[in-house]
């Protein structure tokens, strides 16, 4: 099952969810590690390049993910006992996760292009800087990037805990259907 149905996620949505989640947590760790390095550390430039390259690949993945979400149905809640307020909270938390991913990656782009130079993604694709830049762009975007990275990671941990609660306490399919494709009739 490639696409989502009213009651289950398809393989594309599942794969992209977990690939992006693992990559985001890894980039977060790499980001915290690399800002502690100094110019004299062997991996100073390499770690920053890797972070930027993977970050830009994530930005493309996010755009594809949003397009995929728009051409798909979003499965209805797997928790029949959830109140309207709970369903709304989950919905807005998902929108917030999408928004945070977007602005985090854009702020990373703004730090990296503050000097007017393009980002060379794995030496294959050149993403140009904006034709203008604003005062203190590197510092402002850098501060935003740090705050947004922490916010995204903390919110996604809360989101992960909510998924575990659905699995272990409410004992419904919420988590399972994001791990494997569950045919509609037995969902
Ligand atoms: C979801 C994706 C991303 C995550 C989770 C992430 C996370 C982080 C974290 C935690 C830091 C360390 C912040 C600090 O303590 O000062 C950092 C720094 C940085 N990130 Fe990202 N990042 C992401 C995407 C990107 C992208 C797309 C770019 C650029 C193309 C980028 C460029 C940078 C740069 C240049 C720094 C160094 C900032 C400085 O020197 O203060 N990041 N990132
Ligand atoms: C950086 C980490 C993560 C991000 C950015 C993220 C983002 C998202 C987003 C945006 C959705 C909504 C999908 C849609 O309807 O289009 C979603 C769904 C989901 N995520 Fe995550 N997620 C992350 C980590 C996790 C983790 C660690 C878990 C589990 C432990 C998890 C479990 C789920 C589940 C079960 C759903 C489906 C919820 C439902 O059916 O209402 N996610 N996630």
Give the closest ligand to the alpha carbon of residue 101.
1
Token readout for 26 is 């890894």
% of the chain with per-residue pLDDT over 90: 97
Cα 23 from Cα 140, distance rounded (Å): 25
Alpha helix stretches (DSSP H) within the chain: 11-34, 44-70, 84-112, 137-168, 176-179
- Give whole-number Cα distances, 127 to 22, 41, 110, 117, 187, in Å: 24, 27, 11, 9, 44
> What distance in Å separates the CA atoms of residue 176 and residue 9, rounded to the nearest whole number?
10
Ligand 1: residue of 27, 43, 63, 140 to mutate (most ligand atoms within 8 A of CB) is: 27
DSSP state of 7: S
pTM of the model: 0.95
Ligand 2 centroid – CA 159 distance (Å): 7
Determine the average pLDDT of the residues in 26-43: 97
- Whether the per-residue pLDDT at 185 is higher than 60: the answer is no
Tens of pLDDT, residue by residue over 155-175, are 999 999 999 999 999 999 999
Ligand 1 centroid to Cα of residue 161, in Å, is 25
166 CA closest ligand 2 atom index: 35
């Amino acid at each position: 099952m490639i696409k989502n149905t009213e009651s289950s996620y398809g393989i594309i949505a599942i794969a992209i969810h977990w690939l992006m989640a693992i990559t985001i947590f890894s980039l977060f760790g790499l980001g915290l590690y690399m800002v502690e390095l100094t110019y004299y550390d062997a991996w100073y430039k390499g770690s920053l390049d890797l972070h930027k390259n993977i970050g830009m690949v994530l930005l493309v993945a996010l755009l594809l993910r949003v397009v995929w979400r728009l051409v798909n149905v979003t499965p209805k809640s797997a928790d029949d006992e959830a109140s309207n307020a709970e369903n709304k909270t989950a919905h807005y938390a998902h929108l917030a996760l999408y928004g945070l991913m977007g602005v985090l990656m854009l702020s990373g782009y703004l730090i990296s292009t503050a000097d007017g130079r393009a980002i060379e993604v794995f030496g294959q694709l050149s993403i140009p800087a904006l034709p203008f830049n604003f005062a203190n762009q590197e510092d402002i975007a850098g501060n935003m990037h740090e705050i947004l990275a922490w916010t995204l990671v903390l919110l996604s941990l809360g989101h992960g805990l909510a998924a575990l609660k659905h699995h272990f306490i409410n004992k419904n399919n919420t988590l399972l259907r994001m791990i494997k494709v569950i045919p509609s009739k037995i969902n």
